[in-house]
Chains A and B, each alone.
Chain A
Amino acid sequence: MKLSDIVKELSLEIKTYKDGLQNNVTGAYVSDLLSDVMANSKEGNIWITLQTHMNIVAVASLKGIKGIVIVSNRQIPEETLKKAEDEKITITTTSMPAFEIAGKIYLLLK
């Protein structure tokens, strides 16, 4: 499924790198532990997390993650947004908590 379809379906707010919306999402991973995401996420995943500091961009980029969903309307630091734009990582936000958004994305990708 295209990232743009998920964004539209779940009314996610796009914060960075709009061109990434064309990417194909093959699965999702939910975690706030960065080493866990490094170890267990898969290329093509969308990543659901409450972490907003700039290391999430490096993790996403190194693992080939196609988009990040920041949950519960958390504010994203400017330096994270800038780095994401530079590294071509699409960051989106939602007001939903992780459990809810994960459930909805699961249904879309099932």
Chain B
Amino acid sequence: MPLNIDGTIDGTFQLIGGNFTTAGEASTQLKLKLSELGVDETIIRRATIATFEAEMNVIIYAAAGWLHYYITSRSITIKIADMGPGIENIELAMQEGYSTAPDWVREMGWGAGMGLPNMKKNSDLFKIDSVVGEGTTVEMVINFP
């Protein structure tokens, strides 16, 4: 059932690398927004997981990044662009369990190689582009039922 949304509702968050303190804020805001709009619970859950993992990746690996979301009556699109080290081998990075996270990040329970697979699993459309030394962009679309 398409939602009663006129045009596009969008929002932007700036993410700062290494700032674990505010991790989860973008996902929390987006979750609230989707609840307000009456989006299906399963969709909210998927969008929340995908957004949070994306947020964590920027915080863990990049200097900074931006997260944009666009909600229409039919879907939500989440775009993340970071100024990070880039990913050398995307195929490898997409494998569950593969991670380049440093030890201190793993000790926090991150860097288990589940982030990108979780993002893909929860999206209907998942696109990732990366340039080593420049950064990574991810686009995820979740269709409403």
Interface residues of A (CB under 8 A from B): 32-36, 38-39, 49, 51, 53-55, 57-59, 61-63, 79
Interface of B is mostly: helix
Does B86 sit within 8 A of A, measured CB to CB?
Answer: no
Does B82 sit within 8 A of A, measured CB to CB?
Answer: no
Note all chain A residues with C-beta closer than 8 A to B115.
35
Interface of A is mostly: helix
A-B contact pairs, 26 of them (CB 8 A): A32-B109, A33-B109, A33-B112, A34-B56, A34-B108, A35-B110, A35-B114, A36-B112, A39-B49, A39-B114, A39-B118, A51-B108, A53-B20, A54-B21, A55-B20, A55-B23, A55-B109, A58-B23, A58-B24, A58-B28, A58-B52, A59-B24, A59-B52, A61-B24, A62-B28, A62-B52
Instruction: Indicate if the CB atoms of B112 and A38 lie closer than 8 Å.
Output: no
Instruction: Indicate if the CB atoms of A38 and B53 lie closer than 8 Å.
Output: yes
Does B48 sit within 8 A of A, measured CB to CB?
Answer: yes
Interface residues of B (CB under 8 A from A): 20-21, 23-24, 27-28, 31, 48-49, 52-53, 56, 108-110, 112, 114-115, 118, 121
Note all chain B residues with C-beta closer than 8 A to A61.
24, 28
A38 to B50, CA, bound (A): 9
Instruction: Indicate if the CB atoms of A62 and B24 lie closer than 8 Å.
Output: yes
Q: Across the A-B interface, how many residue pairs have beta carbons closer than 8 Å? A: 59
| Distance (whole angstroms) from the CB of B18 to the closest CB of chain A | 13
Partner of B24, one of A35, A36, A55: A55
> A34-B108, A38-B53, A39-B118 given. 19 additional CB < 8 A pairs?
A33-B112, A34-B112, A35-B118, A38-B52, A39-B49, A39-B121, A51-B108, A53-B20, A53-B108, A54-B21, A55-B20, A55-B23, A55-B56, A55-B108, A55-B109, A58-B52, A61-B28, A62-B24, A79-B21
Instruction: Indicate if the CB atoms of A34 and B110 lie closer than 8 Å.
Output: yes
A58 to B26, CA, bound (A): 11
Instruction: Indicate if the CB atoms of B28 and A34 lie closer than 8 Å.
Output: no
| Distance (whole angstroms) from the CB of A61 to the closest CB of chain B | 7
Note all chain A residues with C-beta closer than 8 A to B112.
33-36
A79 to B118, CA, bound (A): 28
